Structure 1
C-alpha cells in the first residue's frame, strides 16, 4: 500500500511526516532523530546522505554540499549566486547539464564529478524516501514537497524534477507557509468558527529565510490573503555574525585567522551555532575549541546583550515582511486574531521580542515549531491518496507574482497579451481566452510582467507553447481558438487544453409558452365535450402538436489542438538520464554498505569463535581441531587488517564460509549436547510431575476412605 508522505525540506534539516488512517506521524531516521541533516557528501567509495554526511562533514568538508534549497533552479548569473557562494565549502560552478544553472564540483569515487543542483536534491530525496520506507514498511511513491513562497516557476519545476529523479510522484509542490496554515486549519478545527473567518498571521523564521503569510481560516476552509518574505534573513545569518566576531577576536588574541582554513572556520561556525542556542535560554555562554588551527586551543564567551548588538542590522529588517504582508492582505495588525510563529530561529529571544513589537500583540506558539509544515504536507498528500481517508478541507494559495500570456498580433488585433494571473490572486485558478487565428499553428508565451514585484535577477520568461492543428473553414480567413489557461495547485502556469470552434447553424427547439399550452388544453376539453362519447375522435384531436424548431448560429467545437510546450522542466531524455544515473549510484551505495556489513560480520565471527573455543566449545573440539582453527582464525585476522582491509564482498563471504565450515561442526556438537541436556531436564521434570501426581492421587484415595468410615460410624449411631 502506498503511504502518502510530506517533506518539509529545510535548508539545515528536513522533517518527514506520513499520513495513516489513525493520523499524521513524524518519521524518525536511522539514529532515531525526528529531523535529518540536509546534506549530501561524496567519498572514495560511496555517497554520504543525511546523518552520515553530517558525521563526515568536518573531515570531508570539500566534498559535502549543504544549502540545497538555495541553489535549486538558481541561474548561475543570478545576483543570489554571489550571496550564496560564501555559504558553500565545495566549488560552485555553472552546470553544463542544467543550461546555465548552478552545480557543484566534487570528488566522487576518486574522480572529479559535476552534479547539477537538481541532481543533488534528488540524491537527498532518495535518502528521505528510503528513511520513510524503512520506518513505515510501506510503499513510498507520492510526495507533497514544500518550498519557499518566493520560489519562481523555474525553481518549482526543478524541485518537481528532483522528486521524479528520486522515483517519487510530486502530487503537489506547496508553499511552506500554506502547508503550516493547512495544518493549523485541520488539526485545530474544533477551535475555529464555522461561519466567520478567523484572521491569522503565520510567521516562519527558518535557517536561511523569513516568511510571513496572512490567512483567513474557518472550519474546513482556508484562504491566503497576503504573503511576503526576506530571502536573506535566518538562523545562518546569526551563526555567521557570531563566527565572524570570534574570527576577528582570535586574529588579535591568538594570531590565527580561521577564515583561511575551511575546516577551522567550519568548527568555529558549528560552535557559534551551539552558543546561539545556549544564549536562547541563558544570558551568557562560553566557547571552547581544541586545536582549532595550527594546534592552537581557543576559548572565549559571549553574552546575550553582545549577540543582540552583533545582529542589530538583521533585527532592524524584521518589520518589512510583516508590513508588506498586512498591506497585501488589506488588514491592520489590530485586525488579526492570532499570530502563529514557527521555525527554529524564532526561539531566539531578540527575534521573538522584535516580531511581537511589530505586530503590537503577544505571539502564539501552539504549532510545533519544527514539525508544523511537514504535518501539513502529509495531510495535503493524503488528500490525493485513494488509500487514506481525510476530513475535507478546502484551501487556496496566494499568487506571489503577476503573470501575463503573450501571442503574436494578427490583423485587426489591438492587444498582444493579457494579464491572466495577477499578484494577490488565489490559486488553483483557471481562465479561458479566445483568439482568432489563421493557422495552421501559433505561439503563446507566459511571462512575469511586473518586474518590481520580482526578486532581483528573476528570469521573466516562464514557458512557451506551440498550438497546432488550427484549421479555418474553406471560406473563412480565421478560426476561433479557445485556450484553457491554468495556475495549477503546484503553482505551475500551463495551457491545460486548446480547441478550435466554428460558427454553425443548428436547430434549436422552441419551447411552447405557458399561455399557448393552457389554450391547447382548454380547446381539447371543449372538443371532448361537444363530441360526447366519440373516443376515437377525441384521441385524434388530443395528439401533441409537432415540435417547433428555429435555426440559430452557435460556436461549436471543431478540432482538438495539439500543444507542444517548452518550459523550465527537464526535457524527457535528460530526466531519464538522471533517473538512470541515480539508480546506478543507489546500487553502488548499496554494494558498499553490504560489503561493509560482510566485513563486520567476518570480524565479529573471528573474535566470537576464538572466545568460544576457550570456553563453551572447549570440550567439543579435539586438540588438532583447535590448533587448526586457531591457525585459520589468526590468518583471517591478519588478512582482514592487512590486504583484506579494502576487499570485495565476495572475498569476505568466502573467508567467513571457510571458517564456518569447521566452526559450525564444533558448534553442532555443542548444540547437540545442549539439546540432550534440555531433553534430560524435560524427562526429569515429567517424572517429578508424574510422581507428584501419583502422591496426590494416593492422598485423595486415603482421604476418601477416611470420609467413608466416618459416614458409616454416623449411620450405626443413628
Structure 2
C-alpha cells in the first residue's frame, strides 16, 4: 500500500462503560484490539499525581483512586447540571461534579497537585483519542475521519456534544449514526445472502448506560429504512449494578463502594450463566470482610421494574411503527446487558417464543456497523458499499414554544431524516417589533416540560396589529440528526438562524479550539512522562545488570584460580562465555 495514502475512516462505538473501534480493511470489518489485546476498552479516564490513564489502566486502579477515576461521561454529555437524571447519578459517583457556567456539569479532579475541571466532552474526547491511537497503531498511519455512534434517543444537544468531543480528539466526524441502526447494518451485511426481499427487524440494544429499540425494514441487505425508535438514555447495566450495590447496603466509604460496584458487575455477568454466585471482599469497610450470596432470582427481583420498562418500550415502538409483532422477522440483541436471561425470556414471550438473533457479537455489532458506514462515506473508500442506503428517523418531536407555554411541533417524532419542515406563526401583540423563538425537543404538551435546545430573536418586524404579520419557522435536520432552525418574516424576507451559544449547552468554536490545545498538551505530558519512566527503567535495568556482572566476574576469577590446569580450548570457551554475559549489557 502507498504510504502516502490516507488511512481509512474508522467506526467508533463510544459506549457508557466500554468503547470499541473497527475499520473496513481487506474486504472485511476488523475489530481492532487495544494495547492490552482487548477488543473493547473501558470508557474510563483516571488522573494521578504524575500521569493520566485511559482505558484498562484507568479502570484497574479505580478502587485505589476513586475520586479521580472518571466514568459514565456519556450520562453527562449534552445534559445540564440541574437535570434530575444528572442529580440522581451524582449520588452514586465517587468523583465530584459541580455546576459550571450556563448550568453545564463539570467534573472536578486532582491532577499533578492541582484541581482541574473538565467538561464531559473533554473526558469523552480522551476516550476517543485512545480509540484513535488504537486504530493508528494497527493501520500504521494517522487517522483523520470517523463515524461515531450515539443512542437513537440522544437529543440534539447530546449529538452535537458528541461531535464536539470528536473534534477535540482531532477527528473529523463524517457522520453521527444511531447505535441500533449501526447494529442493523452489521446484521444486514452478515446475512445479505439470506435477504432476498424485505425483512423487518427489531434491534434491542441494552448497553451499560443506555437502552434503545429500533424497528427497521432491510431490503436486499443494503437498504435500511428506520420505521420507529424508542428508548431511555439513562437505563442500562450500570443501573442493575447500582441496585445490587444498594441491596448490599454499604455506605460512607468511596473506596469500599467502588470495590463493591466492581464485584457486583462481575457477579451480574456470572449470573447470566449461573443461577447463583457470591460476592466476597476482604477488609471491605473498617477492616470487616464482606460476603453475600446472590441468586439470579434476587437479581431479577431487584431489577424487574427496569426489565418491564424495556418491554413496554418495545411495545410502544411497535405501535409507533404501526407494525404487528407477528410482522417482525428478526429480533436482534445488541449490548452486553442483552445477555441477561430474564430479558431474553421476556422478549421471547412477547414475540410468541420467536428465536432471538445472536448472530452478531452484542459487544461489537455497533462498531462493526459504524466501520461499514465509515467506508461508505470515506473519500478513499473502495466503494464496497456503494449501494448501501440508510434512511433514519428523528427520535423526538421538535418544535417551538407558542403563547401559553404550549409546545407546537414542527417535525414529529419518527420523521425520516434528513428532512426540512416549516410552520407559519403570527405575532401575538400590536406593533410587535421582535419575536423570540424558543426551540424544544420532546413529547410533552407544555414547552418547559421538554428539553430546551436554544433560543434566538428576530427583530425588525414592521408595525402592524397583532396576528397581521406572519413568521415562518423552518426546521432542518441533517444526516447526522443535527438541527438548524431559521425564522423568516414573510413580509420583509428577513431571516435569523438559531445561534449556538454557551447558554444553549453547546461549545463555541473558540472553546473547542482551546480544548484541542489542552488535549495536545495532555498528550505531550503523557508522552514526556512515559519517556522519563522508560529512561528510569532502562537505568535501573543497567544497574541491575552491572550488579549481575559483579557475580559473573567473581565467578570467572574463582574459575581461573580453580582451573590452572585447564586446556587452551577450555580457557577460550570461558572467555567467550564471559564476553557473552557482559558485552550485550553495555
Q: Tell me which interval the TM-score lies in, with the shorter structure as reference length.
A: 0.7 to 0.9
Aligned pairs (5 A) from 1:26-105: 26-96=31-101, 99-105=102-108
Query: CA 1:205/1:406 → structure 2, altered by over 3 Å: closer, same or farther?
Result: closer
Which position in structure 2 is the counterpart of 1:222? 224
Q: Does residue 566 of the first structure (1) align with residue 500 of the second (2)? A: yes
Q: Residue by residue, what CA displacement relative to the aligned partner does 1:12-40 show, whole Å, maximum 9, x if unpaired?
A: 11111112242211111111011111111
- Contact (CA 8 Å) 2:227, 2:414: kept in 1 or not? yes
- Contact (CA 8 Å) 1:322, 1:358: kept in 2 or not? no
State how far apart, in whole Å, the 2-side matches of 1:458 and 1:431 are: 20
- Contact (CA 8 Å) 2:202, 2:328: kept in 1 or not? yes
How much does 1:185 deviate? 2.2
Q: Does residue 302 of the first structure (1) align with residue 298 of the second (2)? A: no
Q: 386, 390, 397: which one pairs with 1:395?
A: 390
Which position in structure 1 is the counterpart of 2:480? 490
Which position in structure 1 is the counterpart of 2:199? 198
State how far apart, in whole Å, the 2-side matches of 1:217 and 1:366 are: 16
- Contact (CA 8 Å) 2:199, 2:218: kept in 1 or not? yes
Query: CA 1:613/1:52 → structure 2, altered by over 3 Å: closer, same or farther?
Result: same
- Contact (CA 8 Å) 2:20, 2:131: kept in 1 or not? no
State how far apart, in whole Å, the 1-side matches of 2:446 and 2:203 are: 22
Which position in structure 2 is the counterpart of 1:173? 176
- Contact (CA 8 Å) 1:617, 1:670: kept in 2 or not? no
Any runs of at least 4 consecutive aligned residues in structure 1 with deviations exceeding 6 A, and if so which? 405-408, 432-437, 441-444, 453-456, 465-468, 480-484, 496-502, 559-564, 616-620
State how far apart, in whole Å, the 2-side matches of 1:133 and 1:31 are: 15
- Contact (CA 8 Å) 2:442, 2:450: kept in 1 or not? no
State how far apart, in whole Å, the 1-side matches of 2:445 and 2:171 are: 33
State how far apart, in whole Å, the 2-side matches of 1:497 and 1:19 are: 42
- Contact (CA 8 Å) 2:42, 2:59: kept in 1 or not? yes
State how far apart, in whole Å, the 1-side matches of 2:204 and 2:536 are: 50
Which position in structure 1 is the counterpart of 2:356? 363
How much does 1:86 deviate? 2.5
Instruction: Give the total of aligned pairs.
Output: 541
TM-score, normalising length: structure 1: 0.69
Task: Give secondary structure in 1 for the equivalent of 2:500.
Answer: strand
- Contact (CA 8 Å) 2:243, 2:303: kept in 1 or not? yes
Which position in structure 2 is the counterpart of 1:577? 514
Aligned pairs (5 A) from 1:303-702: 303-360=295-352, 361-389=354-382, 390-391=384-385, 392-404=387-399, 420-431=410-421, 445=437, 447-448=439-440, 451-452=443-444, 458-462=450-454, 464=456, 486-494=476-484, 565-566=499-500, 568=504, 569-612=506-549, 614-615=551-552, 670=579
Which position in structure 1 is the counterpart of 2:160? 157
How much does 1:91 deviate? 1.1
State how far apart, in whole Å, the 1-side matches of 2:133 and 2:125 are: 12
- Contact (CA 8 Å) 2:7, 2:139: kept in 1 or not? no
| RMSD (Å), alpha carbons | 3.7
State how far apart, in whole Å, the 2-side matches of 1:405 and 1:560 are: 19
State how far apart, in whole Å, the 1-side matches of 2:371 and 2:494 are: 37
Query: CA 1:366/1:47 → structure 2, altered by over 3 Å: closer, same or farther?
Result: same
Query: CA 1:297/1:418 → structure 2, altered by over 3 Å: closer, same or farther?
Result: closer
Which position in structure 2 is the counterpart of 1:291? 283
Task: Give secondary structure in 2 for the equivalent of 1:387.
Answer: coil
Larger radius of gyration, structure 1 or 2?
1
Query: CA 1:283/1:448 → structure 2, altered by over 3 Å: closer, same or farther?
Result: same
Task: Give secondary structure in 1 for the equivalent of 2:552.
Answer: coil
- Contact (CA 8 Å) 1:76, 1:101: kept in 2 or not? yes
State how far apart, in whole Å, the 1-side matches of 2:448 and 2:274 are: 39
- Contact (CA 8 Å) 2:441, 2:453: kept in 1 or not? no
Task: Give secondary structure in 1 for the equivalent of 2:380.
Answer: coil
How much does 1:485 deviate? 5.1
State how far apart, in whole Å, the 1-side matches of 2:496 and 2:242 are: 53
Query: CA 1:5/1:139 → structure 2, altered by over 3 Å: closer, same or farther?
Result: same
- Contact (CA 8 Å) 1:153, 1:462: kept in 2 or not? no
- Contact (CA 8 Å) 1:421, 1:487: kept in 2 or not? no
- Contact (CA 8 Å) 1:41, 1:65: kept in 2 or not? yes
State how far apart, in whole Å, the 1-side matches of 2:332 and 2:128 are: 29
Query: CA 1:354/1:207 → structure 2, altered by over 3 Å: closer, same or farther?
Result: same
- Contact (CA 8 Å) 2:223, 2:390: kept in 1 or not? yes
- Consecutive unaligned residues in structure 2, runs of 5 or more: 1-5, 428-432, 462-469, 558-574
| Structure of greater relative contact order (alpha carbons < 8 Å, 6+ residues apart) | 2
Task: Give secondary structure in 1 for the equivalent of 2:143.
Answer: coil
Q: Residue by residue, what CA displacement relative to the aligned partner does 1:122-160 show, whole Å, maximum 9, x if unpaired?
A: 122122212221122122111111111221111111111
Query: CA 1:62/1:355 → structure 2, altered by over 3 Å: closer, same or farther?
Result: same
Query: CA 1:268/1:338 → structure 2, altered by over 3 Å: closer, same or farther?
Result: same
Q: Does residue 233 of the first structure (1) align with residue 228 of the second (2)? A: no
Q: Does residue 113 of the first structure (1) align with residue 47 of the second (2)? A: no
State how far apart, in whole Å, the 2-side matches of 1:261 and 1:483 are: 53
State how far apart, in whole Å, the 2-side matches of 1:586 and 1:467 are: 46
Task: Give secondary structure in 2 for the equivalent of 1:377.
Answer: helix
TM-score, normalising length: structure 2: 0.83
Q: Residue by residue, what CA displacement relative to the aligned partner does 1:424-468 show, whole Å, maximum 9, x if unpaired?
A: 21001245789999xxx9988472366428999643344648799
State how far apart, in whole Å, the 2-side matches of 1:156 and 1:501 are: 35
How much does 1:354 deviate? 1.4
- Contact (CA 8 Å) 2:279, 2:291: kept in 1 or not? yes
Q: Residue by residue, what CA displacement relative to the aligned partner does 1:271-313 show, whole Å, maximum 9, x if unpaired?
A: 1111122221112212211111222222231222232223233
State how far apart, in whole Å, the 2-side matches of 1:31 and 1:454 are: 50
- Identify the range of structure 1 (444-453 vs 359-368) with the bigger mean alpha-carbon deviation: 444-453
- Contact (CA 8 Å) 2:444, 2:450: kept in 1 or not? no
Task: Give secondary structure in 2 for the equivalent of 1:388.
Answer: coil
- Contact (CA 8 Å) 2:486, 2:498: kept in 1 or not? no
State how far apart, in whole Å, the 2-side matches of 1:35 and 1:51 are: 9
- Contact (CA 8 Å) 1:405, 1:444: kept in 2 or not? no
Q: Which has the higher helix share?
A: 1
Task: Give secondary structure in 2 for the equivalent of 1:259.
Answer: coil
State how far apart, in whole Å, the 2-side matches of 1:465 and 1:395 are: 35
State how far apart, in whole Å, the 1-side matches of 2:278 and 2:442 are: 49
